[in-house]
Amino acid sequence: AQSVTQLDSQVPVFEEAPVELRCNYSSSVSVYLFWYVQYPNQGLQLLLKYLSGSTLVKGINGFEAEFNKSQTSFHLRKPSVHISDTAEYFCAVIPSGGSNYKLTFGKGTLLTVNP
């Protein structure tokens, strides 16, 4: 079984400041990793994903994340945030092989960008 821990439930930052949202996972098998974003009153949409290859992945809206296998982490970063980045961010994992198609989400981190 897999589990995802998002270490911060809320992260308040000022506009144009850098931000890091932390995600750690636990799994006995190799996994694929994802970050989803949920804007207020909207559904979730895929922000970025790590499947294989370069451990630094870039997503939409200037976000990037780095996969660290030894630390079982997949932290999300943005060098300069905007008001419009205010949203809930979810880290998720799925086994990379076999037929287990269950996507496991973390509890989410609410990013609030203040002017």
Partner 1 sequence: EAGVVQSPRYKIIEKKQPVAFWCNPISGHNTLYWYLQNLGQGPELLIRYENEEAVDDSQLPKDRFSAERLKGVDSTLKIQPAELGDSAVYLCASSHGQGAINTGELFFGEGSRLTVL
| Residue 110 beta carbon to partner 1: minimum distance, rounded to whole angstroms | 9
Angle at 24 between CA 86 and CA 6, to 5 degrees: 35
Considering the complex, what minimum distance in angstroms separates the CB of residue 71 from partner 1? 21
In the complex, least distance from residue 70 CB atom to partner 1, rounded to whole angstroms = 23
Q: How many CB atoms lie within 10 A of CB 13?
A: 17
Q: Which stretch binds partner 1 (CB under 8 A): 16-24, 39-47, 62-70, 76-84?
A: 39-47
In the list 1, 17, 51, 56, the residue contacting partner 1 (rule: CB under 8 A) is 51
Are residues 88 and 37 in contact, defined by beta-carbon separation less than 8 angstroms?
Answer: yes
Give how far Cα 95 sits from Cα of 3, 18, 33, 44, 100, Å.
Answer: 11, 31, 9, 20, 7
| Interface residue with partner 1, options 34, 63, 67, 74 (CB under 8 A) | 34
Say whether residue 7 binds partner 1 (CB under 8 A): no
Residues lying near partner 1 in the complex (CB under 8 A): 4, 9, 32, 34, 36, 41-46, 49, 51, 90, 92, 94, 96, 101-103, 105-108
